[in-house]
Chain A
Amino acid sequence: MIPSMAVSHHRHVQSKGWGRLVLIGLAVGLGVLLLAVPLAVIFAHAFARGWEAWWHTVSSPDTVQALWLSLFTVAVVVPINAIYGLSVAWAVTKFRWQGKKWLVSLVELPFSMSPIVAGVACLMVYGSSGLLGGVLETLDLKVMFAVPGIVIATLFVTSPFIARELIPLMRLQGTEEEEAAQVLGAGGWWTFLAVTLPNIKWALFYGLILCAARALGEFGAVSVVSGHIRGETNTLPLHIDLLYHDYDGSGAFAAASVLTLLALVTVVLKILVEGKGKPQE
């Protein structure tokens, strides 16, 4: 790789197209090698024993339940994160106040933290020997090793996605339009709905999609708090892991192909949204 880079740099002086060609070749080559090949392998393995075997795994009650739980988690997590992301971005970009920088750093913290740490942290708060463990037990509320725990852990990990998409754009847009609306007599909510929201809608969609994709695939944090109860608290990624460790390779790949298909749906949505968002900037 390094020698070819050197060559491309050298030739760059003589022919403009050469370096570009090598770089494009590298990007495409690596993309195929690192992404397309493993993806193709998943589907090849998934269907290695035929459609019927694939359908047998995919339609088994445990896989179906795992799929529902994953989709349910996404359905709960994404709206909550949207509200959270909007309020954070709104507060940070439209107002001046002390400690703004701290809030932005705090919002981005889950990005730099390993999901497993997030999971353990949840356990330390909501587990039986955790901070709120006693209270939850007296109230007979099950949080850890149940669906609420999975939602909380996923929320933690995916919380920065929407805020991170919105903050740079809203900062760029500034507050002039909002100020104009206020001068013209619009209230806070009306300003938000009629001025801010239309301006950021594509970035918001983009954030929603990223957030959904990440929530769907989250493994580490959820693995700590799920309890792995088959047919109850296993999400799709956990279910794939279980099948794989149990020497049911083809079953694991069949389930993985479903998760991959869902991921591809989010990718397509993302491309569509990107196309829409562009002319605005």
Chain B
Amino acid sequence: MKTRTLAAALILTLSLGTGAAQAEDKVPADILNVSYDISRELFAQINPAFQAKWRKDTGQSIEVKQSHGGSSKQARSILEGLPADVVTFNQVTDVQVLADKGFVRADWQQAYPNSASPFYSLPAFLVRKGNPKNIKSWDDLVRSDVKVVFPNPKTSGNARYTYLAAYAFALEKFGGDQVQAKDFIRRLLANVPVFDTGGRGATTTFVERETGDVLISFEAEVKGIQKEYGTDKVEVVIPPVSLLAEFPVAVVDKVAEKRGSRKIASAYLGYLYSDEAQDILAKNYNRVSNPKIAEKYKAQFPNVRLYTVELFGGWDNIRKIHFAEGGILDQVFEKK
């Protein structure tokens, strides 16, 4: 019985769908937002708000569907045919992959404010209750009595930010001396007892297996972990210096063109910059540039001196110099 109603509904929607598509010059009733793996709760709050606003503005009911996975894997899936109208990733390089293959326009970073990144975060620390090892900044992480947990920078974008933030700190500390900075990173990596492949694995290692004294991940994430596991177990420490991590967005032109969804897709990404969406983002511990909302959540976000990837000459250079085969990461890993 259930299946029969389901089938009937399916046929009905299909026929209605094609009819409507012809009548309205191919405007779809949904878009697909392909996103990174830990943004489910965030977009579960943003999407209904956008849908309500779109209905108010245009009278049309639409649905924003979500797909979540590691953002490199997601980019790969889009190249293989996953019909994403928009992407909201946590790695600039993964959007760039789509741009290189002509799925996203080449100047996508100019399409929206702040290099098309509606919010940002930074690598921060999670320590055990009461901060028994008194960990305050990156300097404390290379102490011989401190064990550090973060995923493998070879496989995890999250860990790449940690690596770069530590590197930026070291360059500042040693007045730009590359040799000393490299040595600093070598000591940091030597303090990591186990490299998990992804952020979630590292969290399990730290919280559930109780390995290590400090876990490094994005500020929004460590605060989320604290919420999940409780303040009686772990504490968040925000270092005075860190690196700005962008969360880039783009319309996937190739798909939007084909589906006729460009108008909704662009409006959706534009909406992420509105007061309403920025408020939701900030509520979920993401930092935003909107001055009004930033002011409202000021108490939640301590001041941090933030470097950007421009310190390293942008992602292309970072890839070549640091993370490519035989790059600086390989060199300091080998010395371990």
Chain A interfacial positions (CB closer than 8 Å to B): 123, 127-130, 133, 137, 142, 144-145, 227-233, 242-249
Contact = CB atoms under 8 A, between A and B. Distances in A.
Given A227-B82, A242-B68, A145 B41 contact: no
Sorted nearest first, the 9 A-B pairs with minimum C-beta distance are: A127-B80, A128-B81, A145-B82, A246-B40, A247-B228, A227-B82, A230-B66, A228-B67, A229-B67
A130 B228 CA distance: 41
A129 B77 CA distance: 11
A128 B66 CA distance: 21
13 contacts: A128-B79, A129-B80, A137-B81, A145-B77, A145-B83, A227-B67, A228-B74, A243-B40, A245-B38, A245-B68, A246-B41, A247-B203, A247-B228
Nearest to B83: A145
A123 B81 CA distance: 10
B65 interface: yes
Contacts of A231: 65
Given A129-B80, A229-B32, 19 more contacts: A123-B80, A128-B80, A144-B82, A145-B80, A145-B81, A228-B69, A229-B67, A230-B68, A232-B65, A242-B40, A242-B68, A244-B200, A245-B38, A246-B68, A247-B203, A247-B228, A248-B40, A248-B41, A248-B228
A144 B80 contact: yes
B38 A246 contact: yes
B224 interface: yes
Contacts, number: 66
A229 B66 contact: yes
The residue in A133, A142, A144, A229 that gathers the most chain B C-beta atoms within 10 A of its C-beta is A229
Contacts of B203: 247
Contact of B65 (A123, A130, A229, A247): A229
Contacts of B41: 246-248
B94 interface: no
A210 B120 CA distance: 47
Contacts of B38: 245-247
Contacts of B40: 230, 242-243, 246, 248
B124 interface: no
A245 B81 contact: no
Nearest to B225: A247
The residue in B77, B81, B83 that gathers the most chain A C-beta atoms within 10 A of its C-beta is B81
Nearest to A247: B228
Contacts of B200: 244-245
B265 to A, nearest CB: 16
Interface in B65-90: 65-69, 74, 77, 79-83
Given A228-B69, A229-B66, A230-B65, A129 B79 contact: yes
Nearest to B208: A249
A249 B67 contact: no
A141 to B, nearest CB: 11
Nearest to A231: B65
Nearest to A123: B80
Contacts of B69: 228
Contacts of A246: 37-38, 40-41, 68
Contacts of A137: 81
B228 A249 contact: yes
A243 B224 CA distance: 13
B22 to A, nearest CB: 15
A174 to B, nearest CB: 42
A137 B83 CA distance: 12
Contacts of A233: 67
B138 to A, nearest CB: 25
Nearest to B42: A246
Nearest to A230: B66
B50 to A, nearest CB: 15
Contacts of A242: 37, 40, 68
Contacts of B224: 247
Contacts of A248: 40-41, 228
Nearest to A243: B40
B164 to A, nearest CB: 23
Nearest to B41: A246
A45 to B, nearest CB: 12
A142 B81 CA distance: 9
Contacts of A133: 80-81
Interface in B28-48: 32, 37-38, 40-41
Contacts of A229: 32, 65-67
B18 to A, nearest CB: 12
Nearest to B224: A247
A256 to B, nearest CB: 15
